[in-house]
Amino acid sequence: MQGTVAALLAEIVGTSAIDPSGNPGVIAVHPDGEEQISQICRLAQDHKWRLVPRNRPLVQQNSTPTVVLYTDKLVGISEYAPGDMIVSVRSGTPFEALQDSLRTKQQMLALDPVCDSHATVGGLVACAAYGPSRVGYGVLRDMVTGMRVVRADGSVIKVGSKVVKNVAGYDLPKLFIGSHGSLGIITECTFKLRPIPRHRTLFALTGSATEIARIYQEIMRRALSVCALELVGAPQSSPSSNSDDWMLLVGSDEVADAAQALQAQIQAIDGRVSLEIMQNSQVAEFWNRYRQELIPAATVLRVQMAPTRMVAFAASLRQVLSELGISVKWSLTLSEGVGKIYGHDRDPKNVETLVNTVVRQCQSTMASSVIEALPPEFLWTQPMMQSPRVRESELRLMQQIKDAYDPRGIFNPGVYARGM
């Protein structure tokens, strides 16, 4: 079977653009552009192969022939208008390379997800990636103005536009953001850009869950203008912190005067917390260290709930996990009611305990949980998404959308809610 699949693919891309992958039933293919991707999609649809757009190795968990479609040849900026602050970029372009190019014009894509240097623009869009700066800059759904996508029948569609003012009608790019490769292969994305801030400040407040929750509420009550409000576990290297402490990171990308006014407001909030203030390169170094600590995680779980409940939820979950001997890292975007829990332990028993505990804790508090990453060798047969808020009628509608874009279910089957 693998030989036939490889032979058919070789007719499109040539033998040098195919790797057997060493994984039974999985063939990796490296098309050089949209035309080849279209032909591969048509072939996959005709033969009902699984087609997985991906930029890193895939561990096969079922016997359906699987073609892993790498976007590593779809690289580079196709159009950049610094004056309009708009860039169109091919989907296999590494995110870091895009930011390096934009930096030459003092511009950036205002996105700071936890990802390694291999992460691509298309992969990040497909995952709806975000980081702490979503509080100030919004999420990818606010930044993507247009996209080119290859559908299951091989047709190439352009959704949205290359200008900020979008065409009238349904905002289709939003459908593909966070679709995890289940609706089509993204080949190009157009983004709205932001200027790189001239001054950056980060306030790190460390204290107990009760104190941090009170300070967070005070920041919200005073409607302070901030670009990050992230809750992480207090670093244990600090002599003043204890193991139950949390650190609230309050970011500002405003000019120095505004940052000073914010500092005065934060210092005026009475609380038993320690305060550290970082500026410019210290801020960049801090976030870099934060990312480097999280990247090696094997398990990533996303939780969502009402913002006001997040600190108490995290404190109680941390207590339960610590009683089970499970240690994790936290990154909770308080004002957005969304957070990630990172487990570095690869022991299958501990991974299972972590996932089950988080899912149960969410269920008992009407919060949602999504499994974003698991160790590749770990077999998980439960749904990846547990949300008490997604109704049956919504799931039916999602299935109809999936059927419209991918009627034979070739794209990444099972990656999304309800096996879609």
Ligand X SMILES: Cc1cc2nc3c(=O)[nH]c(=O)nc-3n(C[C@H](O)[C@H](O)[C@H](O)COP(=O)(O)OP(=O)(O)OC[C@H]3O[C@@H](n4cnc5c(N)ncnc54)[C@H](O)[C@@H]3O)c2cc1C
Residues that bind ligand X (CB under 6 A): 52-56, 71, 91, 113-115, 118-120, 122-124, 126-127, 129-130, 180-181, 185-186, 294-295, 297, 300, 340, 372-373, 412, 415
Q: Give the rounded distance of the alpha carbon of 49 from its chain centre.
A: 27
Amino acid present at 49? W
Q: What share of the chain is helix, strand, coil (3-state, %, to 5)?
A: 35, 25, 40
Alpha helices in 269-391 (DSSP H): 281-294, 310-323, 348-364
Residue 237 neighbours by CB distance under 10 Å: 6
In the complex with ligand X, the residue whose CB is nearer, 207 or 343, is 343
In the complex with ligand X, the residue whose CB is nearer, 133 or 208, is 133
Cβ 179 to ligand X shortest distance, Å: 7
Cβ 106 to ligand X shortest distance, Å: 25
CA distances from 391 to 134, 291, 326, 394, 398 (A): 27, 35, 32, 5, 11
In the complex with ligand X, the residue whose CB is nearer, 74 or 213, is 74
Cβ 275 to ligand X shortest distance, Å: 25
Residue with tokens 């004002």: 335
Cβ 166 to ligand X shortest distance, Å: 21
Strand-pair partners of 276: 204
Cβ 181 to ligand X shortest distance, Å: 3
Rounded to whole angstroms, how far apart are CA atoms 305 and 339?
9
With contact defined as beta carbons under 8 Å apart, do 172 and 160 qualify? yes
Radius of gyration for the chain, computed over Cα atoms and rounded to the nearest angstrom: 22
Cβ 97 to ligand X shortest distance, Å: 12
Cβ 260 to ligand X shortest distance, Å: 31
In the complex with ligand X, the residue whose CB is nearer, 7 or 295, is 295
Cβ 383 to ligand X shortest distance, Å: 16
**Cβ-based neighbours of 192, under 8 Å, separated by 6 or more:** 85, 86, 142, 143, 144, 145, 164
Q: Return phi, psi of residue 174, to 5°.
A: -60, -30
Strand-pair partners of 67: 27, 51
The backbone region for 261, taken as left when phi is positive above 0, alpha when psi lies in -120 to 50, beta otherwise, is: alpha
Strand-pair partners of 44: none
Where b means 16+ CB within 10 Å and e means fewer, 295-309 reads: eebbbbbbbbbebee
**Cβ-based neighbours of 108, under 8 Å, separated by 6 or more:** 99, 102, 193, 194, 195, 196
In the complex with ligand X, the residue whose CB is nearer, 58 or 258, is 58
Q: Nearest residue by C-beta to ligand X?
A: 123
Residue 366 neighbours by CB distance under 10 Å: 12
For residue 63, the 8-state DSSP code is S
In the complex with ligand X, the residue whose CB is nearer, 201 or 331, is 331
Cβ 284 to ligand X shortest distance, Å: 18
In the complex with ligand X, the residue whose CB is nearer, 41 or 114, is 114
In the complex with ligand X, the residue whose CB is nearer, 149 or 266, is 149
In the complex with ligand X, the residue whose CB is nearer, 118 or 396, is 118
